[in-house]
Copies of this chain bind each other. A is one copy, B any other.
């Protein structure tokens, strides 16, 4: 299996990308990494590491797409950027999957224009995995790729999220829910009311109905579906609440000698819990709906987070998530 990495994407690139790639190679003997980026930079970084060079290929790509660039323009103009070169390799079948921690807009634009969509999919969607109660996981789709959606897009998100969770978590029948402002079928805005009707009659998924956002982290569903604007709001508000609470706890712990003692006892456990709240721990967000497996690693990924995201991409490739999405679409079309 050959995974192509955008060496220059991400806040800690290229170091975290190259280190993370080497960590992934150490964990997975069936893996070859194709590193796309400025050759001299990659060679130099690899020089510091004890890397399995027989499973590393370097493809020179001197240009870099910056975070602030307009995604579509950048993709069109910077033909020699690590992102464009890497995606072209994967599109041409010279790689089995693509990973980048670069700008979400650029990854999305590149995947849509270069790797292209699965036939029948209107809009690819970004689907991060969130923590749920007692070590569970829940896939949120879409979290920001499509800020204005039609109900049909949401139906496709449901099929894609279902295919991903079936493959990667081995849950034979993921419970799929529609994020809404009430549990009753008649609740919602125009979009969710229409989407409910589509999902209700969708034969190829286990649709459990509407779910209010307060239950996302409770583990009540395996896949939660919403438009990209709402998904982005949810992701960022969960993040905000978590930061607010942990910051406030820190203030409480520092209030007196007694609270410091109490905090000291609890610290190791709290730290590991805080880590489960951090969605970068679970790798990246798969970009579902494009014709090859693509994972968008978190922009702030360090080497460990990046290697987790590579492992996630490897799972997507081995489980043929792309093929399963295409099959789901077909099965759904046949039955209607």
User: Which A residues contact B (CB, under 8 angstroms)?
Assistant: 133, 144, 147-148, 179, 181, 188-190, 192, 212-218, 229-230, 232-234, 236-245, 247-249, 252-253, 255, 258-259, 261-266, 269-270, 273, 276-277
A144-B181, A181-B147, A218-B244 known; A237 and B213 CB under 8 Å? yes
- Complex contact B189–A214 (CB within 8 A): no
CA distance A96 to B174 in the complex (A): 53
Complex Cα distance, B146 from A181, in Å, reads 11
A240 touches B266 (CB 8 A): no
User: Smallest distance from the beta carbon of A289 to chain B beta carbons, Å?
Assistant: 19
A214 with B230: in contact, given A181-B147, A262-B263, A265-B258 (CB under 8 Å)? no
| B236 A217 Cβ-Cβ under 8 A | no
Are A239 and B214 in touch, CB under 8 angstroms? yes
Return 27 A-B CB contacts under 8 Å, by A number.
A133-B248, A144-B181, A147-B188, A147-B189, A148-B189, A148-B190, A181-B229, A189-B229, A213-B236, A213-B237, A213-B240, A214-B237, A214-B239, A214-B243, A217-B241, A217-B244, A218-B244, A230-B233, A233-B233, A233-B234, A237-B237, A245-B277, A248-B273, A249-B273, A262-B265, A263-B266, A266-B266
Also in contact, A245 and B245, with CB within 8 A (given A233-B179, A252-B270) = yes
Cα A188 to Cα B227 in complex, Å, equals: 12
Alpha-carbon distance between A75 and B229 when the two chains are bound, in angstroms: 34
- Write out the residue numbers on chain B whose beta carbons fall within 8 Å of the beta carbon of A277: 245
- A213-B240, A236-B212 known; A265-B261 Cβ under 8 A: yes
Hey, which chain B residues are within 8 Å of A237, CB to CB?
A: 213-214, 216, 233-234, 237-238, 241
Known: A255-B269, A259-B266, A266-B259. A242 touches B240 (CB 8 A): no
